[in-house]
Amino acid sequence: MDQTVRVKNTGLRGVPVADTKISFIDGEQGILIYRGYRIEDLAEKSTFLETACLLLDGELPSEERLKSFTDEVLRAREIPAQICESLALLPKDAAAMDILQAAVPLLAIADHEISDETREANVRKAVRLIAGIPSVVAAWNRIRNRLDPLPPDPGLSHAANFLWQFHGTRPDPEIARDLEVCLVLHADHTFNASTFACREVVSTRAHMYAGVAAGVGALSGSLHGGANARVMKMLMELQSEEDVAGWVKDQLDKGQRIMGFGHAVYKTTDPRAKILREMSLRLGEKLGQPQWHRLSVAVEDAALAELDRRGKHTLKPNVDFYSASVYHLMGIPPDFMTPLFAVSRIAGWCAHIIEEKFAEAQEKPALYRPESDYVGNYCGKMGCVYQPLRERRSAPSSP
Ligand code: ACO
C-alpha cells in the first residue's frame, strides 16, 4: 500500500512534523501558551529574560538561575568590535534584515564554543545570541546613521538597554516596560515559518547559528515577520480615516492582502494583538499621537466588515497589525520593525533548535527530507539526449 502522505501545496497546514514541549496555540479559541503558561499572564507578570529562560529551560527560573542567566546575558551584550567594523563597511542603505542575517555568521565565528555540540554549550550559545542580536540591530541603526555604536548599560532591563543602544537616550521607564511586554509576546509561536526553518537547518546537525541565520531570512518575508513594516507603511500612506474604507475595498478588489490580517493557525483574533491594541491606544495618548491607533482601528473595522462581506470570516488582526503603531510610537523606523521582532524571537528559535538537537528520536524526524513530485521533462529511463551547444536550436529570446 502507498504510505505517502499527500500534503502537497498546502504549506504543511495542519500537518504535525514533530513533538514540542515549548509552546502551544489553540487557533479556534485564540490561546497561546509557552511551556504551560498563558501569554496574557507572562505579558503582565514576566520579563523578557525570565521568559527566555523559561523557553530554554522548560520551567520558570529560580531567583538564583535568573540571576546567573541575566549575568551571562549582560556579559555577552558587548559584541566584538570587528563585527561592528565589518558592518561599517557595508552600504548604509542595505536592508536591516539583510544586515542582521549577514551578522549571524560573524557572531558564530566569534563564538569560542562553536564546535561544542553538547546541550550545555548550546544553551550558552543561545544566551550569547539572545544578548548579541539586539546589540547588532542597535549597532546597525547607529552605523547607518554614521554614529558610533553605543556600549550596553548593565543597569538597564533588556528592553530598556535595547532602546538606549538604539536611540542613544535613556528610555522612559513606562515605554521600556511596554517594549519588554512586546518582547515577551513575540518570543515564541510553535512551528511558524522561521522556527521551522531553524529546526530544518539544524536537523542536518548544522550549528545553532546556521539555523538562526535561516530563521532571520524566513522572518524577513512580508507574509511572516515582514508584515509589521508593511502595516506601518500602509498607515503612513493612508494618513486619514476617511481614506480607509475605500482603500480596503480597492485592495481586496485588486486581490491584494491586508497586511497584519489573517493567520495560518488562528481563526480568531490573535491573543497578542489584543494586548498590543490596548498598548497602542495607551502609548498614543501618552505621547500625544493618538492618530496611529485611530487609523489602525479604522483599518481593522473596515477590513473586518469587507472581509466578512466576502465570506472570509476567520481573517482577523494578527500580532503584526498593532505592533506596527506600537513600535512607531517607540521611535522604531518601519525597516527596523522586523529586526525588532527577531530581537525577541531569537529566544524561541534557540529553544526550538535545542529541542530539535536533543529531543528523543521518536519525537522528531532524524533529518527533514520531504518528497516532491517531478513534473518536468522526462525522456524515459535513459534521460534526454544531450546535444552539444552548437547543435541546439536557439531558444526564443527573452522578452
Ligand atoms: N488579506 C486578504 N485576504 C487574505 C489575507 C489577508 N491578509 N490573508 C489570507 N487571505 C485570503 C487569501 O487570499 C485566500 O483567499 P482565497 O481562498 O480566495 O484564495 C484565503 O484567505 C486563504 O489564504 P492562505 O494564504 O491560504 O491562508 P493562510 O491562513 O494559510 O495564510 C497568512 C496565512 C500567510 C498569514 C495570510 O493570512 C497573509 O498573507 N496575511 C497577510 C500577511 C501577514 O499579516 N503576515 C503576518 C502573519 S503573523 C506572523 O507571521 C508573525
CA of 47 to the centre of ligand 1 (A): 31
Residue 56 domain flag: yes
Residues 175 and 295 in one domain: no
Pocket perturbation via mutation, ligand 1, pick of 299, 306, 312, 343 by most ligand atoms within 8 A of CB:
312
Instruction: Report pLDDT for 381.
Output: 83
- Exposed / middle / buried, residue 137 (Cβ in 10 Å: 0-12, 13-18, 19+): buried
Catalytic residue among 158, 263, 293, 352: 263
Instruction: Report pLDDT for 29.
Output: 96
Residues 190 and 235 in one domain: no
pTM: 0.96
Amino acid in the structure at residue 37: Y
Residues 111 and 243 in one domain: no
CA of 224, closest atom in ligand 1: 50
Residue 262 beta carbon below 6 angstroms from any ligand 1 atom: yes
Residues 107 and 236 in one domain: no
Per the structure, the count of domains in the chain is 2
Residues 238 and 262 in one domain: yes
- CATH number, domain of 72, equals 1.10.580.10
Residue 4 domain flag: no
Residue 251 domain flag: yes
Cα 162 from Cα 153, distance rounded (Å)? 9
Pocket perturbation via mutation, ligand 1, pick of 261, 268, 304 by most ligand atoms within 8 A of CB:
261
Residue 126 near residue 56, CB atoms below 8 Å: yes
Residue 40 domain flag: yes
Residues 61 and 108 in one domain: yes
Residues 156 and 244 in one domain: no
Instruction: Find, among 109, 166, 157, the residue nearest to 134 by Cα.
Output: 166
Residues 172 and 321 in one domain: no
Q: Which domain holds residue 106?
A: 23-223+335-357
Residues 268 and 310 in one domain: yes
Amino acid in the structure at residue 377: N
Residue 121 beta carbon below 6 angstroms from any ligand 1 atom: no
Residues 262 and 340 in one domain: no
**How confident is the prediction along the chain (399 residues), in pLDDT tens digits per residue?**
455 667 888 899 999 999 999 999 999 999 999 999 999 999 999 999 999 999 999 999 999 999 999 999 999 999 999 999 999 999 999 999 999 999 999 999 999 999 999 999 999 999 999 999 999 999 999 999 999 999 999 999 999 999 999 999 999 999 999 999 999 999 999 999 999 999 999 999 999 999 999 999 999 999 999 999 999 999 999 978 998 999 999 999 999 999 999 999 999 989 999 999 999 999 999 999 999 999 999 999 999 999 999 999 999 999 999 999 999 999 999 999 999 999 999 999 999 999 999 999 888 888 999 999 989 988 888 889 999 999 987 665 555
Instruction: Report pLDDT for 1.
Output: 47
Residues 268 and 215 in one domain: no
